[in-house]
Structure 1
Amino acid sequence: MPRFEAGPIPARVRTARTATGDVAEARRLLKELGARRDAPTRIAPVPRDRPLALSFAGQRLWFLDKWTPGQPVYNSPLGLRLSGQLDHGKLIDALTAVVGRHESLRTRYSEEHGVPHQIVDPAPARVDIPLTDLTGRPDAEEEARALAHDVATGAFDLARGPLLRARLIRLAPEEHVLVLCVHHIATDGWSTGILVSELTACYAAAVAGTTPDLPQLPVQYADFAAWERKRASAESTERLLAYWRERLAGLPA
């Protein structure tokens, strides 16, 4: 669930006075600004019947993973302490709903002739959240930390997926720890807040037997990646590459 960054609006409309002529000028400027926004800055859905490009940030992370496979450096773990009655099945329903909403949480990264692309898997019927019951164990907290460490540091296979894993740890009948870990190619700090917020909403709805009140998602991260690639002209990309070739010239391979 990466934050979509559409970039700054490419204009600043000057303040219009209330005189009749200036109102017309303001309308003209707003119309011009709208036309400028429509083409280069609006993210639109792209077809899913063809290879999907990675964003530039995603391609960097894919390259780093190919360079040193299986390293947990780019794992993004999250631990949530849950107090009160908890329905394990409803929690699974809630996380399944969140994964179904966000393609980035069910995307794998393959390559063809050295070029990476995204593969979006169908929404899962059920997300796995294994439960470990440590109720009554004298060293429950220490065991929970060890389990959380395993979830947080385990390797991800970007080509096979999934890039999200979860584990529920029961410390007492009404005391649990939910550990989630997502590879950074599929999330960031902003997205973590969205994940927690939507998981909370979906769990509350699952318990109540209702539909979560969440907005429809007009675009997904693959749409942003396509928009970003299209927005970067060949001229600007070559200029940036030339800069880094010069800066890195002479360094060891």
Structure 2
Amino acid sequence: MCLVEGWGHEARHARVRQLLRERQARNAAHSYPLSATQQGIWLADTLNPGISGYHDVAQVELQGHLDTGRLRRALAAVMRRHEALRARIETDDDVPMQIFDRQIPAIETVDLCGRAADRQERHVDRLVGIAATEPFALDVGPLWRGLLIRLDERRHLLVLVVHHLIGDGESHNLVWRDLLRGYADPLLPAVTGYGDWLRTRVAQEDAAVARAQKVADRAAQSPRRLDLPGCGADDGDRRAHVVPVPVAADDWEAFLARASGGGVTLFSALLGLFGVELAERTGAPVTLAVPLSQRWRQSEGADLAGCMVDLLPTIVEGGSDDIAVGQTAWTQALEGFDVPYREIARLLSSRTGRTDDPVTNVAVEQFNVDMSPRDVAGLRVIPRPRSHLRVRHDLTLTVFHDRTPPQLLVPRSRWDLAMLDEFAMSIADRITRTR
């Protein structure tokens, strides 16, 4: 029975359709597409929530008198400043879109005062491990969380876990910079334009898809997933193990001087050296995945936190001059800068039938996070090394922006660590010979 006169089935259906159109119009105005990189991350985390390797864990020790209320206000100011920190991912007809409407999450606080140092450190490690792997509700958001651990009266540990859907290496620097600025002065101005950047980036990717076939054809000419001696079958455990490259200080300084004297960046010099080492071991060119920030294409993106990175397939062939080889490989790779890595992987996957990354299982990354201590409003802020990482590639060379020697990063459970140590020593010997 109709409860309101004149409100029959046709009128109800028309009203429902009108409401749906209004909702879609509102969503279209306030939602933004995912870049190709974000689409890949979203899919991986949907399949393996919490352990997909896309949680960035950052820790700083705060020494001195901490005003926790002031810290919370600073976190709120940073969240107001950066749209990405307010994001959640909503699906409409199975298409993921991002909406920036979340409020600051509750910051969990744990008091470990009075515990013995060894017990305290074990408890800290367990707490950070839980925070690092707890899945985010992508459709609810926000896609970051904070944990404040009180170690004693004048020492706290602040842990931020940020999903890579909303952040990258440069975002790491921006968020910490603005958090410390906000602690000193919570009246941080907002920065806008991330949503506009996303729409522009997606348009650039769409326009570059036609060139993906050329990049995929070139990548197909080299062995893509390397059979690395000492690396066993994938057991699904991607927890990271770090091995420093043991190069002597004077040899490292000489290597830096040679690269600088040749007008070559440290990154491209080490990329070439690492790639040539692998090429000689396998007897063929190698393809390396290199994360590259997209910010420099749009100047207004320089100050924005967000997922503004893509992988660049970089093919390295053997040669007598490692540094020159790296420069050449990097220059050629940049020709495909706009081509989405996900599209290249899709094209190669159709040839190989692989369900994992068909492009490469080896990477070179640049770690740009500033790890130097600093003083802010009566606090001594000391960054802690990365921990509880999960890695996507079987072997990664990490290059540091502060010009310290590189490291190898691998999923620990898959590697014979003695073989890995031998590989790190071989890289160190090559640095020494290249000086």
Please, what TM-score do these two structures have when normalized by structure 2? 0.42
The SS at the match of 1:108 is: strand
CA distance in 2, matches of 1:226, 1:237: 16
2:118 matches 1:131? no
Q: Deviations over 1:61-91 (max 9, x none)?
A: 1121223334251100011100000011111
Q: Deviations over 1:195-214 (max 9, x none)?
A: 111000101114xxxx34x5
The SS at the match of 1:49 is: helix
2:211 matches 1:110? no
Q: CA deviation at 1:119?
A: 1.3
2:209 matches 1:237? yes
The SS at the match of 2:130 is: helix
Q: CA deviation at 1:179?
A: 0.7
Please, what TM-score do these two structures have when normalized by structure 1? 0.70
| Aligned counterpart, 1:94 | 74
| Aligned counterpart, 1:149 | 129
Are 1:108 and 1:162, in contact at CA under 8 Å, matched by a contact in 2?
A: yes
Map 1:121-200 onto structure 2 (within 5 A).
Answer: 121-122=101-102, 124=103, 126-138=104-116, 139-200=119-180
The SS at the match of 2:125 is: helix
CA distance in 2, matches of 1:233, 1:85: 51
Q: CA deviation at 1:98?
A: 0.3
The SS at the match of 2:29 is: coil
CA distance in 2, matches of 1:96, 1:48: 26
**Partner residue of 2:54 out of 67, 74, 78:** 74
The SS at the match of 1:185 is: coil
Bigger proportion of residues as strand: 2
**Greater Rg by CA:** 2
CA distance in 2, matches of 1:223, 1:57: 16
Q: CA deviation at 1:246?
A: 5.1
Are 1:77 and 1:179, in contact at CA under 8 Å, matched by a contact in 2?
A: yes
Q: 5+ residue gaps in structure 2?
A: 1-26, 217-343, 356-435
CA distance in 2, matches of 1:202, 1:48: 32
Are 2:144 and 2:161, in contact at CA under 8 Å, matched by a contact in 1?
A: yes
**Change in 2 beyond 3 A, CA 1:60/1:127:** same
The SS at the match of 1:73 is: coil
**Change in 2 beyond 3 A, CA 1:67/1:238:** farther
CA distance in 2, matches of 1:173, 1:155: 32
**Change in 2 beyond 3 A, CA 1:50/1:81:** closer
Output the amino acid matched with 1:229.
Answer: V
Output the amino acid matched with 1:223.
Answer: D
| Aligned counterpart, 1:217 | 191
The Cα RMSD (Å) is: 2.3
CA distance in 1, matches of 2:206, 2:166: 25
CA distance in 1, matches of 2:166, 2:64: 31
| Aligned counterpart, 1:247 | 348
Q: Deviations over 1:119-166 (max 9, x none)?
A: 1115x3x54212111111122222122111111121112112121101
Q: CA deviation at 1:96?
A: 0.8
- State, as a whole percentage, how many aligned pairs show the same letter: 33
Q: How many residues align?
A: 197
CA distance in 1, matches of 2:213, 2:158: 43
The SS at the match of 1:186 is: coil
| Aligned counterpart, 1:59 | 39
The SS at the match of 2:201 is: helix
CA distance in 1, matches of 2:155, 2:197: 39
Q: Deviations over 1:2-46 (max 9, x none)?
A: xxxxxxxxxxxxxxxxxxxxxxxxxxxxxxxxxxxxxxxxxxxxx
